[in-house]
Amino acid sequence: MQFTQIDSFNIFSRYTRLTRKTRRDGGEFCGMCPFCQQGTDRFLCWPYRERPGYLCRVCNQSGDVIHYIMEMESLSFRAACDELGIDLDEWQNGKFSHASYKPRTPTIPSETWQKRAIEFAKRCKDILWQPEYSQAMAYLTEQRCLTSETIDRFGLGYNPQPDHMEPGALWGLEESVFVPQGFVIPWQFEGNLWRLKIRRPKGSRSKYHDLEGSFEGLYLADGLNKAGDILIVESEFDALCVAQEAGALITPLATGGTDGGQTPDYISLLSRPLRFGGVLLARSVASVLQVCPLVS
């Protein structure tokens, strides 16, 4: 079984009407984005590529055809594979053909982008501390168990403005920028702001959104300068919990997604602390408590 045996065109077409844009990669198609419902040609997909995929130029949703069906139907990976007729055994044994991992090269966002992003993050940080947004603050302190000191130290903020588009020029970009409502998580590394991630309110189609122009990396990577054990988790909030509760014992990092942080620079950064201590991987803090006696 191969990706080419899946009728990806039909899968993508289930949720939006596609028109052919170019002949690139066996056919590049566009339509209204089924995630953010914006535009008529900002959602792109390539059903005939070696690994069929999609990308929305407005809301940044992207992935392969498995991810697409998972998101659209709220399915687990296993259920999505079932739906597409992919044999999980073949998949796990590597017999299922797919494009191999390709390292992505990160670039520091432009000065214009960083200036705008820093202003936005600062404004949202101030808002979070205002009494009228005490509910947003309560979410972080009560549900995420973060102290006000942690929230302040790591610059978390809240954007109460409803989802909207901003002209790209304001951010030094050609594409317009989709700015959703939600918690703002700034990713800093070596004095630069690399990424602004927004945790959207419950009920949004995608839980997290990277502002256009953000680059991936590892969250809290500045901590890599410290010696000692490292704990890698997926979510930024989990990493902050570890920093808050066990920062003196262990250095937390977050990938910000299941395939985040796979850039050569960050992988080589990770090899640095390996000389001092170990690296633990965890999907959530709950599983960390089982594998890491230091934290429990």
Name the residues that contact Zn ion, by CB under 5 A: 33, 35-36, 56, 58-59
Residues, the chain, total? 296
- Closest approach, Cβ 39 to Zn ion, in A, equals 8
Instruction: Give 132 or 174: the residue with its C-beta nearer to Zn ion.
Output: 174
CB of 42 to Zn ion, least distance (A): 7
**Nearer CB in complex with Zn ion: 35/68:** 35
In the complex, minimum distance from the CB of residue 38 to Zn ion, in angstroms, rounded to a whole number: 6
The answer for residues whose C-beta is within 8 angstroms of residue 185's C-beta and 6 or more apart is 156, 196, 197, 198, 199, 219, 236
Nearer to Zn ion, 167 or 278 (CB): 167
Centroid of chain to Cα 143: 21
Is residue 244 classed as helix, strand or coil in its secondary structure? helix
Instruction: Enter the DSSP assignment of 97.
Output: B
Instruction: Compare residues 56 and 86 and give the one whose CB is closer to Zn ion.
Output: 56
Closest separation between CB of residue 128 and Zn ion, Å?
26
- For the chain, how big is the Rg over CA atoms in Å? 20
Burial of 258 (0-12, 13-18, 19+ CB in 10 A): exposed
Q: How far is the CB of 26 from Zn ion (least distance, A)?
A: 23
Tell me which DSSP letter residue 178 carries: E
State which residue, 56 or 128, has the beta carbon closest to Zn ion. Answer: 56
294 in Cβ contact with 274 (< 8 Å): no
Cβ 107 vs Cβ 194: under 8 Å: no
